Amino acid sequence: MNWRGLLSGSFAVLATAFYVAWNQGWLPTRPATAPVPLACADLALGCNFTLDDHAYRIQSDQPITPARPFSLMLFGTPLTSATASWQMAGMDMGPNRFHFAPGPAGQWQTRTALPFCTQARSDWLLTLNVNKNKVIFAIQRR
């Protein structure tokens, strides 16, 4: 066997081992820092936040309740894409991603609902992805 073949084969084995180790999470990584949720006392009154030095506001069209769908409006510029999802700390609420679309008055909006929860908890986390930036709100349902 020539040296070129031996080197090529060794490189292929090492590259494959690295790929498998990376995908399995065997390689050390920097510890992820969980984003601190921003408090939002009443989503129906709206909550302000800043991303990349731009001001935004998220607001619902009514008080949120688990039994009734509601609209979320997102105000601010620039907006190129936005999604919303609902979670609870320590619970898997299943996939629930709602895509915002441009509205008639310049705001972006989506129709959403709280996922079904059998624990009767009210500590919801609203995750917004705005222009590929993530912001999390701690929402207390009344």
Closest CA to 95 of 79, 109, 84, 108: 84
32 secondary structure, DSSP code? P
How far apart (Å, rounded) are the C-alpha atoms in residues 126 and 131? 16
pLDDT above 90: residue 8: no
pLDDT reported for residue 1: 58
Query: 38-140 — its CATH code?
Result: 2.60.40.1930
DSSP state of 17: H
The helix or strand, by DSSP H or E, that contains position 111, with its residue range, turns out to be strand 108-112
Q: Where are the domains of the chain?
A: 1-32, 38-140
Distances (CA, A) of 71 to 18, 47, 113, 114: 46, 14, 8, 11
DSSP-assigned beta bridge partners for residue 60: 72
pLDDT tens-digit map of 51-100 = 989 999 999 999 988 878 999 999 998 999 999 999 887 887 778 899 99
